[in-house]
A and B are shown apart, each in its own frame.
Chain A
Amino acid sequence: MSSLTEKDRPIVQLLLNTGTCPRCILRFCCVGSQMLYRHPYKDLMKDLKEFLKNNQEKEDTVCFDVVDPPCKRIRLEQTEEGTDDLNHNGALQQIPSVNDGNTAMENSAVKVCNVCLGILQEFCEADFVKKVCQKVNSADYQFTSFVFSVSLPPQLSVRERAAWLLVKQEMRNLGLSLAKDDIVQLKEAYKWIIHPQLSEELGVPADGKSLFEVSVVFAHPETDEECHFLATACPDCFKRAKNKQSVFTRMAVIKALEKIKEDDFLKHFPCPPSLPKNLCVAVEIQCNNGAVFVAGRYNKYSRNLPQTPWIIDGERKLESSVEELISEHLMAEFKADSFNFSSSGREDVDVRTLGNGRPFAIELVNPRRIHFTAEEMKRLQQTINNSSDKIQVRDLQLVTRSAIGRMKEGEEEKTKTYSALIWTDKAIQKEDIAFLDDIKELKLDQKTPLRVLHRRPLAVRCRIIHTMKSEYIDEHHFRLHLKTQAGTYIKEFVHGDFGRTKPNIGSLLNRTADILELDVESVDVDWPPTLDN
């Protein structure tokens, strides 16, 4: 815990004279007391000037004693000072000139700090806090904590560097040193001041791990070109990135500042930094909630429904899709911006999914509502199921992002069971197909089916049919139940795909076979957890 001492005096004087605000001055004097930064602006200004006046004071009777409650201090100073304009709600107002010699600060509105460009001035005030909270409240999000992220214009780093060099030089003259890391970071100090205010207004705590993010982007167009000299000094730091408006990103500027030599820097940039005319502007105040994930299993009862929307050249080929039928209601309830649908494998348009259904997960992006009880999820499931007879969902629940991995591993590793209705050209009797039941672990070589060859690479896949069970229907039809390895093309196993899947039902029966109907009977993945609905 440090406060201002004798040795800080020349720095304070120097920075004040060159147009730096009280809070930045505290930062450069390595003052680590958070509370001090939260004092009203005018009080800090006053106390600093008071500090400068007390030339003869000893070290222990320091003005910036943190233990003293601020109001007591003000009253004391008031009786000493005499008249002064005290504005009670802490808004910035006129400050008297520093009367210690050559530099005279104009008796007008508060000058914008040449280091923080107003971030630690105007943007710590209650008015700005109110503005942010208004934005948050009108956006109508559900949240229990928040993380406040701030984007500062890159030239602030440049000005910070210039100020540091200025102070370092002064300290050298006094035989002292100042490490860059000892200076309090601007963003840190800003958060010290604004977090409690935001927390109070919003009624929830600030939490670095919160999923609800309030972000503000600051810009200072007046000084945007100040970074440009770095491009000539360190050209390799500034690569033209695609889709980015400016090459001078914060990261690039910081990198360049690390590389550039002190004298080069001083050659191109004024030290101390120049006085800006205007404050920063808060260009964007945005809210964003972290994605939530809803998982479940779906059954598909239609032979005319694609899993994802089927649109060619802007024209929809088939009405609706599995993902739309499920997501529509979730989007409405969670009030999300968009969704990402994924499932453990998929089936063709004309294939039904029976049994326990196929696991799926939907990522809801930037949801306004995030808390749902098990009851509410059940009701949501019912709503989806009532809205369509083409699909049904079960085990609908909220899951974590890591859960998606479990679902995808099911796609590659787990087995599936199917039921196929098969036609043969030559007549068959019961005895002709009975032998199929005895075949175990049948190895197939499947070339990429012709029907997907236009969009998949040509390859040969080895897949295994674990078991089969046949059901004779008539001389030209039978039903086959199969349990296969994940990734097996069932249709091609039945008709042979021009002989490119070997063996196939046709070759096994020595006839020409074709598939009339296919159903997925089960997807053998034990995720998501079964709920007792």
Chain B
Amino acid sequence: RICVITLAEAHPLLQSGKTIKSINYQISANCSRLQNKVSGKSKRGAQFLTELAPLCRISSSDGEEYTIYSCIRGRLIEVNENILSNPAILQEKPSTEGYIAVVLPKFEESKSVTQGLLTQKEYREVLLKRLNSSS
């Protein structure tokens, strides 16, 4: 099952007042997500991601840097290069054209990956709890 990684609704970068300065897919000296190459149906050669694998680092104009993590296990199929040339779409259309990456989990892990995620409703409840506890 194909997965598309995007910024969550509540992500700081999507709150008003934030402007994106730069997006960097070079996450370490040896690893750039831009160099990811896959071939064939089984997507051989893909960089394998674990939950905490960084996808990219985004710097905002106010000096903050945010690391975007994969959050799921699987093969990295592609990263969105459109946001490099047009960072605005990341904030304008975070759930469609502003996606971060496409990941394909292992067939056997497909169910467990899905079960580890929150539904829209559950996410809203988490946000609500967060809001209530902080106020």
Q: Which residues of A contact B (CB under 8 A)?
A: 447, 450-451, 453-458, 496, 498-499, 512
Contact of B96 among A447, A453, A457, A498 (CB under 8 A): A498
Shortest beta-carbon distance from B126 to chain A in Å: 25
Specify which chain A residues have a CB less than 8 angstroms from the CB of B41 in the assembled complex: 455-457
Q: Are A496 and B97 in contact (CB under 8 A)?
A: yes
Q: Are A453 and B104 in contact (CB under 8 A)?
A: yes
Contact of A458 among B1, B4, B43, B82 (CB under 8 A): B43
Specify which chain A residues have a CB less than 8 angstroms from the CB of B2 in the assembled complex: 450-451, 453-454
Complex alpha-carbon distance, A498 and B97, angstroms: 4
- Taking CB as reference atom, which chain B residue is nearest A499? B97
In the complex, whether B27 has a CB less than 8 A from a CB of chain A is: no
Specify which chain B residues have a CB less than 8 angstroms from the CB of A453 in the assembled complex: 2, 77, 102, 104
Contact of B4 among A455, A456, A457, A498 (CB under 8 A): A498
User: Which residues, 38 to 57 on B, are CB-close (under 8 Å) to A?
Assistant: 38-41, 43
Contact of A450 among B40, B89, B97, B102 (CB under 8 A): B102
Shortest beta-carbon distance from A497 to chain B in Å: 9
Complex alpha-carbon distance, A447 and B2, angstroms: 14
- Taking CB as reference atom, which chain A residue is nearest B46? A458
Shortest beta-carbon distance from B21 to chain A in Å: 22
Specify which chain A residues have a CB less than 8 angstroms from the CB of B1 in the assembled complex: 454
From known contacts A496-B97, A498-B97, A499-B97, infer whether A458 and B78 are also in contact, taking CB-CB under 8 Å.
yes
Q: Are A454 and B102 in contact (CB under 8 A)?
A: no
In the complex, whether B25 has a CB less than 8 A from a CB of chain A is: no
Complex alpha-carbon distance, A470 and B61, angstroms: 44
- Taking CB as reference atom, which chain B residue is nearest A502? B82
Complex alpha-carbon distance, A512 and B102, angstroms: 21
Complex alpha-carbon distance, A87 and B96, angstroms: 92
Q: Are B96 and A499 in contact (CB under 8 A)?
A: yes
Complex alpha-carbon distance, A339 and B52, angstroms: 50
- Taking CB as reference atom, which chain A residue is nearest B86? A499
Q: Are B4 and A450 in contact (CB under 8 A)?
A: yes
Q: Which 6 A-B pairs have the closest CB atoms?
A: A499-B97, A453-B2, A454-B2, A457-B40, A450-B2, A458-B38
Specify which chain B residues have a CB less than 8 angstroms from the CB of A447 in the assembled complex: 78
Shortest beta-carbon distance from A505 to chain B in Å: 14
Q: Apart from A454-B1, A457-B39, A499-B89, what are 8 other A-B pairs with CB-CB below 8 Å?
A: A453-B2, A453-B102, A456-B41, A457-B38, A457-B40, A498-B80, A498-B99, A499-B96
- Taking CB as reference atom, which chain A residue is nearest B83? A499
Shortest beta-carbon distance from B110 to chain A in Å: 9
Specify which chain B residues have a CB less than 8 angstroms from the CB of A454 in the assembled complex: 1-2, 104
From known contacts A450-B102, A453-B77, A453-B104, infer whether A499 and B82 are also in contact, taking CB-CB under 8 Å.
yes
Specify which chain B residues have a CB less than 8 angstroms from the CB of A455 in the assembled complex: 41
Complex alpha-carbon distance, A498 and B4, angstroms: 10
From known contacts A450-B2, A450-B4, A499-B82, infer whether A458 and B77 are also in contact, taking CB-CB under 8 Å.
yes
- Taking CB as reference atom, which chain A residue is nearest B77? A458
Complex alpha-carbon distance, A459 and B38, angstroms: 9
User: Which residues, 45 to 97 on B, are CB-close (under 8 Å) to A?
Assistant: 77-78, 80, 82, 89, 96-97
Complex alpha-carbon distance, A450 and B101, angstroms: 12
Complex alpha-carbon distance, A451 and B89, angstroms: 22
Complex alpha-carbon distance, A456 and B78, angstroms: 14
Complex alpha-carbon distance, A385 and B39, angstroms: 44
Complex alpha-carbon distance, A333 and B60, angstroms: 71
Provide a sorted-by-A list of 19 A–B residue pairs whose CB atoms are within 8 angstroms. A447-B78, A450-B4, A451-B2, A453-B77, A453-B102, A453-B104, A454-B1, A454-B2, A456-B41, A457-B38, A457-B39, A457-B40, A457-B43, A458-B38, A496-B96, A496-B97, A498-B80, A498-B99, A499-B80
Complex alpha-carbon distance, A425 and B86, angstroms: 22
Complex alpha-carbon distance, A496 and B93, angstroms: 13
Specify which chain A residues have a CB less than 8 angstroms from the CB of B39 in the assembled complex: 457
Complex alpha-carbon distance, A512 and B89, angstroms: 13
Specify which chain B residues have a CB less than 8 angstroms from the CB of A457 in the assembled complex: 38-41, 43
Specify which chain B residues have a CB less than 8 angstroms from the CB of A512 in the assembled complex: 96
- Taking CB as reference atom, which chain A residue is nearest B78? A458
Shortest beta-carbon distance from A354 to chain B in Å: 31
- Taking CB as reference atom, which chain B residue is nearest A458? B38
- Taking CB as reference atom, which chain A residue is nearest B99? A498
Identify the interface centre among A451, A455, A458: most chain B CB within 10 Å of its CB. Answer: A458
Specify which chain B residues have a CB less than 8 angstroms from the CB of A450 in the assembled complex: 2, 4, 102
0/1 interface trace, chain B 11-43, chain A, CB 8 Å (1 if under): 000000000000000000000000000111101
Complex alpha-carbon distance, A498 and B5, angstroms: 12
Identify the interface centre among A447, A451, A453: most chain B CB within 10 Å of its CB. Answer: A453
Complex alpha-carbon distance, A447 and B97, angstroms: 13
Shortest beta-carbon distance from B71 to chain A in Å: 18
Specify which chain A residues have a CB less than 8 angstroms from the CB of B38 in the assembled complex: 457-458
Shortest beta-carbon distance from A116 to chain B in Å: 53
Identify the interface centre among B39, B43, B96: most chain A CB within 10 Å of its CB. Answer: B96
Complex alpha-carbon distance, A451 and B96, angstroms: 14
Complex alpha-carbon distance, A456 and B41, angstroms: 5
- Taking CB as reference atom, which chain B residue is nearest A447? B78
Complex alpha-carbon distance, A257 and B4, angstroms: 63
Specify which chain A residues have a CB less than 8 angstroms from the CB of B99 in the assembled complex: 498-499
Specify which chain A residues have a CB less than 8 angstroms from the CB of B4 in the assembled complex: 450, 498
Specify which chain A residues have a CB less than 8 angstroms from the CB of B80 in the assembled complex: 498-499
Shortest beta-carbon distance from B36 to chain A in Å: 10
Shortest beta-carbon distance from A28 to chain B in Å: 58
Complex alpha-carbon distance, A450 and B99, angstroms: 12
- Taking CB as reference atom, which chain A residue is nearest B98? A499
Shortest beta-carbon distance from B130 to chain A in Å: 28
Specify which chain B residues have a CB less than 8 angstroms from the CB of A499 in the assembled complex: 80, 82, 89, 96-97, 99
Specify which chain A residues have a CB less than 8 angstroms from the CB of B96 in the assembled complex: 496, 498-499, 512
Complex alpha-carbon distance, A499 and B92, angstroms: 13
- Taking CB as reference atom, which chain A residue is nearest B89? A499
